[in-house]
């Protein structure tokens, strides 16, 4: 199965004694599975292995074997410590001077004489001799572990094992293959080459976990025959597939379900402009006792449940007051990256994101909605507005339900998703109340955008999805625009889309994507145009979410 030359990696591992293994951050099933598989396997080879991740292990992944051994302290101790035993001499004074590029440490004893045998050097200073990064496209994806230990990365050999097409090849040894479905698939092959007997049932479970999560349970288009082969091999070696599925896909904490219930009940549609969006505020997180990370991949649920939408957005109020917008588009006619860049973000043509600072949440949301609506109005000007989404037809039932189930509640608070299962929506909620018109549409459409935009919009861009992307996707750059100053009436914004498209560094704009968006793009990049239109899914129905999650 192995098609990669792992010998440089194996040699580096063999020569090292103290190995630092770093998963990308925030961690996911693949990065954690890879890091922990190394942790267990290399210990069997007599190595001292340390796994550090500044971000906490998400609850769903805590079942992974040895997940508790991941250290969160990113201040890796690399001070050089000279110890002086003063038990016999006492200690009166300490000075140091720097002379001729040497630091002279002057210790004055209280009595007697300090001798060379009183000196020792702390072994901490040479704690690691190899860094292995897994599932990490760029060093900055290591977060604080990298930022706080820059010198360590200069000093030590870095072995970079990854499958992201955008990998920056930052290691001295780079084992990067974008054709592989997951980093754990690469590790499976590495262990097969190195020492097959390393793979016990715990390690097989870790490796399979990465493969399952990165292929979306073998549903995504990156599910190659090789991925199935590896899964079969790992299950044969004792991988606990049911345990993985149960923890990652079938177990959702109550607070997560409540949060998802909020997001789903906050869905708004503007079918004239083929837009669907939802919002989740800090109050939503607080009321449901959930974390920002609990949002998970719900935007992809929105996407698959709004087949006729062209733009799907999820607005998240972050704890620092900023607004994160995740954006998906279902057609190449609408460039998510370009829209995100208007708001200081970036990404790819079909998945992008931006953080909007210094704006109150609802204002930030409205600002983006107004802009997108404007763009869509221009593009869809000839399209008859009469056609409604399937989503719009079913949404009233969801909205109406809390009243039917719990009439005593004063607030039309969205019900926690769990409880909706008890009462089938169709039976308790007589079908249709008028759908509340979702678009507040504060500001009327601004003309100037319409005048300059068509030039760019009309240009059919080559479809990045057609070929599996090895080259970073080249996105047109829009003149950067300070988000604070953004105003629909400002002509500067208006002229921005007309800017000459030029190559930009995907790696740079990737920072605006969440991990989830990154995975989404890996998959989207492999879709054919036909597949991308097949986003049919069931209508919004809470019970359906519960069955699937």
Residues that bind Mn ion (CB under 5 A): 30, 135, 183, 214
Question: C-beta of 540: minimal distance to Mn ion in Å?
Answer: 30
In the bound state with Mn ion, the residue whose beta carbon lies nearer, of 214 and 310, is 214
Classify residue 140 as left (phi > 0), alpha (psi -120 to 50) or beta.
alpha
- C-alpha triplet 358, 492, 455: angle, nearest 5°: 125
**Number of separate helices (H) and strands (E) present in the chain:** 22, 15
Question: C-beta of 183: minimal distance to Mn ion in Å?
Answer: 5
Question: C-beta of 182: minimal distance to Mn ion in Å?
Answer: 5
Residue nearest to Mn ion (CB): 30
Dist. CA 31–CA 26, nearest whole Å: 9
In the bound state with Mn ion, the residue whose beta carbon lies nearer, of 30 and 516, is 30
Q: Give the bridge partners for 48, in sequence order.
A: 18
Q: Which residues contact 241 (CB under 8 A, 6 or more apart)?
A: 208, 212, 231, 235
Dist. CA 246–CA 426, nearest whole Å: 29
Q: Measured between alpha carbons, how far apart are the two ends of the chain, in Å?
A: 33
H or E segment and range at residue 514: none
In the bound state with Mn ion, the residue whose beta carbon lies nearer, of 135 and 300, is 135
In the bound state with Mn ion, the residue whose beta carbon lies nearer, of 228 and 307, is 228
Dist. CA 65–CA 83, nearest whole Å: 38
Question: C-beta of 463: minimal distance to Mn ion in Å?
Answer: 24
CB neighbours of residue 339 within 10 Å? 24
In the bound state with Mn ion, the residue whose beta carbon lies nearer, of 317 and 522, is 522
Question: C-beta of 166: minimal distance to Mn ion in Å?
Answer: 12
Dist. CA 492–CA 276, nearest whole Å: 27
Strands 275-280 and 311-317: parallel
Question: C-beta of 44: minimal distance to Mn ion in Å?
Answer: 24
In the bound state with Mn ion, the residue whose beta carbon lies nearer, of 135 and 541, is 135
Starting at the edge strand that comes first in sequence, how are the strands of the sheet with 158-162 ordered? 48-51, 18-23, 130-134, 158-162, 173-176
213: its two tokens: 């999560």
Question: C-beta of 389: minimal distance to Mn ion in Å?
Answer: 33
Question: C-beta of 519: minimal distance to Mn ion in Å?
Answer: 7
In the bound state with Mn ion, the residue whose beta carbon lies nearer, of 47 and 526, is 526
H or E segment and range at residue 540: none
In the bound state with Mn ion, the residue whose beta carbon lies nearer, of 222 and 420, is 222
Question: C-beta of 350: minimal distance to Mn ion in Å?
Answer: 19
In the bound state with Mn ion, the residue whose beta carbon lies nearer, of 183 and 326, is 183
DSSP for 436-494 reads PP-----SPPPHHHHHHHHHHHHS----TTSSPP-SPPP-PPPPP--GGG--TT-HHHH
């Amino acid at each position: 199965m192995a098609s990669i030359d792992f010998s440089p990696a194996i040699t580096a591992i063999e020569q090292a004694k103290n190995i630092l293994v770093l998963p990308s951050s925030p961690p996911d099933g693949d990065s954690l599975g890879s890091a922990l598989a190394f942790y267990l396997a290399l210990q069997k080879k007599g190595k001292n292995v340390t796994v550090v991740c500044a971000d906490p292990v998400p609850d769903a992944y805590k079942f992974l074997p040895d997940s508790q051994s991941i250290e969160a302290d990113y201040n890796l101790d690399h001070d050089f410590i000279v110890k002086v035993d003063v038990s016999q001499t006492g200690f009166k004074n300490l000075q140091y001077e720097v002379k001729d590029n040497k630091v002279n440490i002057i210790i004055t004893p209280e009595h007697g004489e300090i001798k060379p045998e009183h000196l020792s050097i702390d072994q901490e200073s040479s704690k690691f001799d190899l860094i292995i990064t897994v599932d990490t496209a760029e060093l900055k994806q290591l977060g604080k572990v990298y930022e706080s230990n820059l010198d360590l990365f200069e000093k030590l050999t870095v072995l970079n094992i990854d499958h992201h097409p955008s990998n920056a090849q930052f290691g001295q040894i780079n084992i990067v293959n974008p054709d592989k479905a997951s980093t754990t698939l690469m590790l499976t092959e590495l262990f097969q080459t190195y020492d097959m007997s390393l793979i016990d049932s715990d390690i097989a479970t870790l490796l399979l976990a990465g493969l399952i999560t990165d292929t979306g349970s073998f549903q995504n288009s990156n599910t190659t025959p090789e991925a199935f082969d590896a899964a079969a091999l790992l299950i044969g070696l004792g991988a606990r597939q049911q345990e993985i599925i149960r923890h990652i896909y079938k177990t959702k904490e109550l607070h997560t379900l409540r949060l998802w219930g909020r997001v789903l009940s906050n869905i708004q549609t503007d079918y004239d402009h083929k837009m669907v969006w939802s919002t989740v505020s800090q109050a939503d997180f607080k009321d449901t006792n959930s974390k920002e990370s609990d949002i998970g991949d719900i935007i992809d649920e929105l996407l698959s449940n709004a087949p006729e939408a062209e733009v799907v957005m999820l607005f998240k109020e972050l704890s620092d007051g900023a607004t994160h917008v995740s954006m998906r588009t279902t057609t190449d006619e609408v460039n998510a990256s370009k829209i995100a860049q208007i708001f200081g973000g970036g990404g790819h043509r079909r998945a992008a994101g931006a953080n909007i600072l210094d704006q109150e949440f609802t204002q930030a949301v409205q600002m983006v909605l107004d802009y997108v609506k404007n763009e869509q109005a221009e593009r869809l000007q000839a399209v008859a507005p009469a056609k409604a989404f399937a989503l719009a037809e079913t949404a009233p039932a969801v909205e109406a339900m809390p009243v039917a189930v719990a009439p005593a509640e004063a607030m039309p608070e969205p019900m926690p998703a769990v409880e909706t299962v008890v009462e089938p929506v169709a039976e308790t909620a007589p079908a249709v109340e008028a759908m509340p018109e979702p678009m507040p549409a504060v500001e009327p459409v601004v003309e100037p955008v319409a005048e300059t935009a068509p030039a760019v919009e009309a240009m059919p861009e080559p479809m990045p999805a057609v070929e599996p992307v090895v080259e970073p996707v080249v996105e047109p750059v829009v003149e950067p625009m300070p988000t604070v100053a953004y105003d629909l009436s400002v002509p500067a914004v208006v002229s921005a889309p007309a800017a000459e498209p030029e190559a930009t560094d995907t790696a740079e704009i990737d920072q605006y994507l969440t991990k989830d968006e990154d995975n989404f793009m890996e998959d989207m990049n492999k879709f054919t145009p036909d597949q991308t239109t097949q986003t049919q899914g069931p209508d919004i129905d809470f019970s359906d979410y519960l069955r699937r999650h």
